[in-house]
Amino acid sequence: MFKILKYSFFDLMRSRWSYVYFLFYLVLGFVLFFLNNDVNKAVITLLNIIIVLTPLIGTIFGVMYYYSSREFTELLLAQPVKRSSIFVGQYLGVAISLSLSLIIGLGIPFVAYGVMRSGAIWDFTSLLVTGGFLTFIFVALAYNIALSFNDKIKGFGFAILLWLLLAVIYDGLIMILMITFQEYPLDKFALGAIMLNPIDLSRVLILLKLDISALLGYTGAVFQKFFGTYLGMLISLTALSTWVLLPLWRIIRVSRKIDF
């Protein structure tokens, strides 16, 4: 599995799109600091970008890499190698390479502008951790979709639909339900709604760390009310870890039965 992970990792690191992804965050970080030297404001701005862009890139790269390496995967399946090792190794190679592009791309401008000497170091670390979680989650979800559909068009279509649902449509549906049933106690429902969306979980995790109650929104405010700041962050991290482990478990399960 580690050999396959290493191959997938270096294969993606040689790809031009990995460099484009890295350069995007590198330039974005320097531009934000050129416009405003406030690290906290830069973190908030990046939060709004990362929680939308990182899942999209993870979804597209995950599906694209699976379908583009299909022939190589078939060759590996003919060898005495465990099926789960092949697919888990490829998944980890994609997720780690994208996470490093994000971390290094944002890390260079933040370190250059002295984030290591400021009190915002932990806020910035939380931002990177959240971006890493979202990358691993959506690459895993993308791999699950690709494993379920042999047709590339269907795979790409369902992957983009999943991202659109979690990034845009989900919050709109929750808002409609909140307005429709505002006369009823919806606190527990709001907590459950957060757990079912890794993007909302990531947003709440960062905002709890920044302690900006005005930006939390209804669900985030309920989360803070029930669990507080530190317990809320711990629960958010646990829920995000579950979002990584469950799709990974399904990749292992499906890979044992898939017929090429």
Name the band, by pLDDT with cuts 50, 70 and 90, for residue 226.
Answer: low
pLDDT band at 217 (very low <50, low <70, confident <90, very high): low
Q: Per DSSP, which regions of 18-96 are E strands?
A: none
Q: For position 162, what pLDDT does the model report?
A: 92
Question: Which one has a higher pLDDT value, 131 or 37?
Answer: 131
Report, as an integer, the average pLDDT of 149-167.
Answer: 90
The DSSP symbol for 80 reads S
Q: What are phi and psi of 230, to 5 degrees?
A: -75, -45
147 within 8 A of 253, measured Cβ to Cβ: no
pLDDT tens, residue by residue, 106-155:
888 888 877 667 666 777 888 888 899 999 999 999 999 998 888 889 99
The model carries a pTM of 0.89
Tens-digit pLDDT profile for residues 60-112: 999 998 898 888 888 887 888 888 888 888 899 899 999 999 999 988 888 88
pLDDT of residue 85: 86
Lowest mean pLDDT among 16-20, 25-29, 114-118: 114-118
Q: pLDDT averaged over the chain?
A: 82
Cα 38 to the center of its chain, rounded Å = 25
Question: Distance between CA atoms of 193 and 127, rounded to whole angstroms?
Answer: 22
Question: What percentage of residues in the chain have a pLDDT greater than 70?
Answer: 88
pLDDT score for 243: 93
The DSSP secondary structure of 164-233, one letter per residue, reads: HIIIIIHHHHHHHHHHHTTTS--HHHHHHHHHT-HHHHHHHHHHHHHT-GGGSHHHHHHHHHHHHHHHHH
Contacts of residue 166, defined as CB under 8 A and 6 or more positions apart, other chains included, come to: 55, 197, 198, 199
pLDDT recorded at residue 211: 57
Q: What is the pLDDT of residue 84?
A: 83
User: In 3D, which of 243, 1, 23, 255 has the Cα closest to residue 137?
Assistant: 243
